[in-house]
Amino acid sequence: MRLIRSVVTAVLCAATLAGFALHARAATPSGAPIDGIPCQGMEGSAMHIHPHLTILDHGKPVTIPEDVGRPLGAACFYWLHTHTPDGIIHVESPKFQVFTLGQFMDVWDQQLTKTDVAGAHLRKGEKIAVYVQGRPYAGDPRKIEFAQHLDIAILVGPPYKAPAPFAAWNGN
């Protein structure tokens, strides 16, 4: 009986640890392709643009961290990535194609749904407001197509006033 308990305990511990390991891997890209975007040893140079993303959680900024799309365990860059925590997204691809906010959020491993934006959650009776170039955007934010200096703001909960346009491009 004692042997059976020990085996069951060991199996449960192993299963729990495996679950934690799977969750940790999901939160940090491994270098495997995401939404058809590979992770490669060098940034691409055929297409090189810089959109900007602001997320406000009830008026407070949500940091888009540095090194999104640059996995720690893999020596590679996704074609969508960040270098600094300022919201500037680097699109550096070896070929021209359409890239979207939804793809970036998937590379970042963050939600972009009707109730959750990168961990910012709505409260009862609230909404998410999206602005593109300072104008209200009513479509699916996952489908917003990136372009050079495109300014995207997502407001989770009030206040719903569009933030000032982003201007700190610093040569990007």
State the CB neighbour count (10 A cutoff) for residue 38: 15
1-15 residue pLDDT tens: 554 444 334 433 333
**Per-residue pLDDT tens for 111-165?**
999 999 999 999 999 999 999 999 999 999 999 999 999 999 999 999 999 999 9
Confidence of residue 29 (pLDDT cuts 50, 70, 90): low
Mean pLDDT of the chain: 86
**How many other C-beta atoms are found inside a 10 Å radius of the C-beta of residue 108?**
22
* Mean pLDDT in residue range 44-65: 96
